[in-house]
Structures are given as C-alpha cells and as structure tokens.
Amino acid sequence: MDFRIADTFTDSLGRLTAQEQKAAKTTAFDLQMNPSAPGLSFHKLDRAKDTNFWSVRVNADIRLIVHRTPSSLLLTYVDHHDDAYKWAERRKIERHPATGAMQLVEVRERIEEIEILKPKVIEALAQAAKPKLFDNLRKFELMSFGVPEEWIADVRTADEDSLFDVIKHLPQEAQEALLKLAVGEQPEIPAAVPKAPYQSAAPPAVESAPILFDADAFAHPDAQRRFRLVSTAEELQRALDYPWEKWAVFLHPDQTALVERDYSGPVRVSGSAGTGKTIVALHRAVYLARQNPAAKVLLTTFSHALANALKRKIDQLIGNEPLVAERIVVKSISEVGHDLYARAFGEPSIASADLIRSLLSQAALSADGAKFSPQFLFGEWSEVVDAWNLKSWEAYSQVSRLGRKTRLSGKQREKLWAIFELVRAGLRERGSVTWADVFGSLSERLAEGADRPYDFAVVDEAQDIGIAEARFFSALGGNRPNALFFAGDIGQRIFQQPFSWKSLGIDVRGRSHTLRINYRTSHQIRTHADRLLPSSIADVDGNSESRRGTVSVFNGPTPGVRIFDDARAEQQAVGHWIADRLKEGYQPNEIGVFVRSEDQLVRALQAVKAAGGSAIELTDEVEASAGHIGISTMHFAKGLEFRAVAVMACDEDVLPLQERIETVTDDADLEEVYNTERHLLYVACTRARDQLFVTGIAPASEFLGDFAAR
C-alpha cells in the first residue's frame, strides 16, 4: 500500500502543542507500519464530499484526517475533533481534468446574498468597480493553469483587491499562474499526464463524474509539491520532526528540476530574496551526495553564522541518513581555506586590517607616495593587488582594476607598486598572509595536480564571494560536469566589488537560472523592497538577473514608512509597533530590528526596551534565541528571517553612510557606494515575512523616497 503525506498535514501538525504533536506522530507511525492494526480507530466521515475521507482517533480530542483507498493511505490533516471534521467536509482530493495533477481542492459552497439596492447606489457601485483581471480568459484557458472547475467563476470576477482572497482557496500552481497573469507575465502551462481511471473504495454519495485517482497523478510535478510518497519510517520521521520546515519534504517543480539536473559546467541559480535559492542549494548538496556514493560534497557560504544555519538545515534534511551526512562538509569559505592551508602549508597567520593599514602608511612615506590618501591605498590594495593576488609589476601594470573607477597613469601605477612591494615584504618578514594569499596558494596547488579535497562544491550567497575564493572554486571544479553549483542574488551583494567570474574560469552563460516564486515575503513587502533596485541587474560578464515576473504567494499589511523629528520619538513609535506585534501573538524571537551600523544599535535597543522586551545582539557567533528580540546591523541580517522586522535609523547621514562617502576620492566611485548601500537596505527589508516598519529621523535617507509607488 502506498503511504503518502500532504503538506496540509505538516502545516496542521505544526499548530498543535508539543504534547499533541507527539501523540499525533505516534498514531502516524502506527498507520505507516500497519494501517489495519486492530488498535487503530477509523471513522468514516459521512458528511464529507469526498467519500474516501476517514478520521483516525489520536486521543480523546485529536483526530487525524486520512484519505483512504484500497491501495493507498494519505495523511491530510490533524486537529481537534470538530475542527478536523469541518476541514474534511470542505475538501476533496481529485485529479485535475486538464493538467492531470492530483489536487486537494477546497469545495466551493455558494451562499447567495440578495440585496435590494436603490438605483443611485447601483450606479455608484458600478463606477467604483475595478477591472476584472481574468474575465478575458475562457474556462479551458484557466483550467489549463490548474484552476479547479468549480472556482472558475470566482477567478473570473477577481479584481486587484479581491485577488488574494480568491487565490488562497486554490492549489499552488493555480495561485502562481494567476499571480503571474496579474502582473503581465505569461505563465508556463503545466504539462498534462495521461488519465488512468481509478475505482473508488465506495461509490460516491451522489452521482458525479468518475473519480480519477492513480499513481501517475501523484507523480505529476505539481502534485509532488503537496503530496509525498513516504517509503520508510525514517522518511516519515524526517517529515514530522520539523513540521514547519516544509522545504525539507515538499519542493516546487522548478526547484526540483534545478536540483536534479545534470550540468556540463558551472551553474548559477539566482532570484530575489525569498525565492528559495538556499533551499535549492541544500537539496542539491544532498542530491549529489546520494547520487555519488564515493564523493565528498562541500556546502559553503561566506560567513560562519550562515554556515551554521546551513548545517542545522542539512541535519534536518538528512539527519537519519548518516552515510549521506558524513560525505557532506558544511563550512564557511574562510574555514575551508584555513583548514586546507593548514594541512598543506602549516597554520596561517592572517594579517589584520590594522596591520595592512600600518604597512601601507609606512611604505607610502618611504616610497614617495604621500599624495595617495590612506583610504585610496587601502582600497587599491584590498580590491586590486591583494584580491587578484598580484605579485609582480608586470601583473599590476596590466590588471584591469574592475570596480576601481579612479583612473591611474603609468607613472602613478609605478609609484603605487613600489608601495605595495614594501607591504608584501613587510608581510613576509612577519610570516603573515592575507586570505587572498591563502586561497591563491590553494589554487596554485590544485593547478599543479594536487588531489581535490572535494568532488563537488555548492556555494550559497555566492554574490559575496571574493576574487581569490572564486579562483579557488574554479581550480577545484576544473569545468567538470556538476562540479560547481552557485546560488545567489546580485541585488543582495553587500561585501564584494563586482568582478568577472568568466575571467577566472567560471563561465555560467547558458547555465544561469532564475527562481521567481517568493514563499517567504508578502506581496506588499516584496513590491516595496523591489523599488530599491533596478528591475534587472547584470554582472560584469553580461549575465542578467531580472526581477520581472517574480510573485509572492500571500498577502499582508502594507509596510509602514515614517520619519520622525528626533530619536526619542522614533524609539517610542517602534516600541509601540513591537508591542502591538507581541499582543498579536508574535514570539519575541520572531521579531528583528536592524540598523545600518553599530553606532545606531543603541536606538534599536531603546526601542525594544520601550516595548517592554528583551534584546539580543545578533552576530556571527550569536544567533536568535527564544524570549529575545534580535537586533543587529544590516550586514548581519543576511540569511535571517523574521515574521516582523523594523528597520530603524534610516537618516540622511546614516544611509548611505556618510563615513563611506567621505572616503571616496573620485566622484565615479560614488556609484558603487550608493549601490551597496541600497543593497543593504533591500537585504534588511526582505528579512520580514509578514510585517515591515521602516523609520528614520528628518532629514531622512533619500532611499526612503523609493518606497513611494511608481
């Protein structure tokens, strides 16, 4: 007998108390082991429209709702007795006649309300009516996108105000198609599968069309996102241990295709915040490990905190598969570099930024380079000489200096190289190296034929890897099929200057893919945040990432944007906003407060205190914890997620940060400063799922003007 679990079951399980969840899981395991066991108490739901729905007793009050046929058992829902029955009475499981995908359909019950309106009222309503979004589409067209037949009339009457009220009743593929149509995109029509009729276990209560229920319908990609065949107790345990982490069991068809595809060379998956890039990276790492039993897979990202988060998610995904888990290494990129360098060359002594600045200052005095500002020298060293691991005058004289817009004459370069040679000599005398030196040495070692430490590398947040790291991955991959898999969003680049991946041997042209379905961030928050960035962003190699056609699948309140006269007024307002969220049932660790830099953290702390809450500062080493509201700078917001987010201190001299602007020695460099500062605000805003509040003190940041509708 096929045993399946529906995403509606994991959703409902996550809403129960811990004790209720434990009891429900025990019953679910019993059903999987032996659905005919005498201790199981089945009760047929006579009032349900779908005659295959049964309830299974968990305890005196909790009931499982299962869909039962002679050849299959599907866990669909769990709740308290009355609520579980009501849910089942309004649902049916059927194969869609157009797409062939098995769907869990909400039964449409029409309640006709007749109002007697005066002619003037009718005329006013007609004038106020907004255009219908889909009334130009015929029935078969809407059904081709997976819209259930009984919801066609409701869909055709939907306008921009009622759209989300209608689509919340529809299967996911229909939701996504209608949202894309609403924003002017043409969704891809799901591929249909052949029909294979199934005879129900009992005849329908009323005469109707034959029920189509077969394995092919469950195998349809759209069905796979909501129904999953569970073959072992370990698989069921993985699905039930983290019921709120649906990504571990149910994937969107587009995500599945990217995870399981064979690639002839390096691949990059992009998409705006919340589109599931990290989820794809996690599943890709596991897929590679399962498909290649003798291989070692590296899953990495640019920070320790994000690497720790990836490790926790990998444990959730494959915690009960030790043979797979032991072949997936999850580390930050710097940890990877440190460990490999120590193994090959000995423990590295990494030069601090303060040491580099001191060596640059001393070298400038002795090499007649005083006319170059300390800021310019440090930038030229960090972004050109060290980043590209330049060791000779010939190499420096020919480098293109991407990302450095200040032009240099040949004589200026000669003077600069004299300074940088002295810096390198100073580092050698101290036995110190930079991270670029670490990865440069590792890259050279691989190029000389050293054994590869990893067969495959999956890199999350790839937009923030540096030049030296990219060269290392190029040497590691060697253009082997499936060797390199990158996930990232150029619009969230906040740490690195742009550079050419292709010049380093990582060519993703023709293997670059964009995710467009946002499950994490509400429609309102996403559209507000997207106004901070261009609709399309291209990298140095000409690969373009477009935000057009991206849709969020749920609605929410419009983000608040307010400007105050002073810091006290701002803190009190944000405090009231946080207190309102807590009164609505938000847990403290579901709320985050972000500011541009450490200088503004006190404003975030005071706002949390005004709300009567307790704050914890989030860093690479400190993560969100129960009972505390997380506060941090925008840089540490990357990779985090909260139900509600307040972004504070968006003042004119804070965002963009005045200190960064003052270090710019050439007006042309201002563009990069403004770009990364916008990216920072975008990252902070898109950490919010349901609620967003953005504040500042007058005069406020010019970026806040971008939130206005356009």
Amino acid at 282: L
277 is in an annotated binding site: yes
Could you please report the per-residue DSSP string of 568-600?
HHHHHHHHHHHHHHHHTT--GGGEEEEESSGGG
For residue 224, the 8-state DSSP code is: H
Residue 546 and residue 536 in contact, taking contact as beta carbons nearer than 8 Å: yes
292: which residues sit within 8 A by CB, 6+ positions away?
A: 455, 456
Q: Is position 441 annotated in a ligand binding site?
A: no
Q: Which residue has the tokens 């009475």?
A: 89
Residue 275 marked in a binding site: yes
Is 271 annotated for ligand binding? yes
Q: Tell whether residue 556 is among the known ligand binding residues.
A: no
Question: 479-483, long-range: CB within 8 Å, 24+ apart, which pairs?
Answer: 479/265, 479/266, 479/505, 481/262, 481/263, 481/264, 481/265, 482/262, 482/263, 482/288, 482/456, 483/266, 483/455, 483/456, 483/457
39 is in an annotated binding site: no
Tell me if 538 is assigned to a ligand binding site. Answer: no
How far is the C-alpha of 433 from the C-alpha of 538, rounded, in Å?
33
Q: Which of 498, 355, 340 is nearest to 434 (CA)?
A: 355
Q: Which pairing describes strands 456-460 and 297-301: parallel, antiparallel, or unpaired?
A: parallel
Question: Is 410 a known ligand-binding residue?
Answer: no
Rounded to 5 degrees, what are φ and ψ at 332? -70, 160
Write phi, then psi, for 163 (nearest 5 degrees): -55, -50
Q: Return d(Cα 57, Cα 30) in angstroms, integer.
A: 12
* Paired residues of 56 in beta bridges: 42, 64
Q: Residue 94's CB: how many other CB atoms inside 10 A?
A: 18
Please, which residues bridge with residue 74 across strands?
Answer: 4, 67
With beta carbons less than 8 A apart as the criterion, state whether 32 and 233 touch: yes
Question: Distance from first CA to last CA of the chain, Å, rounded?
Answer: 55
Q: Which helix (H) or strand (E) holds 76?
A: strand 72-80
Q: Summarize the annotated binding site for ATP as residue ranges.
A: 271-278
Please report, in range form, the residues annotated as the binding site: 271-278
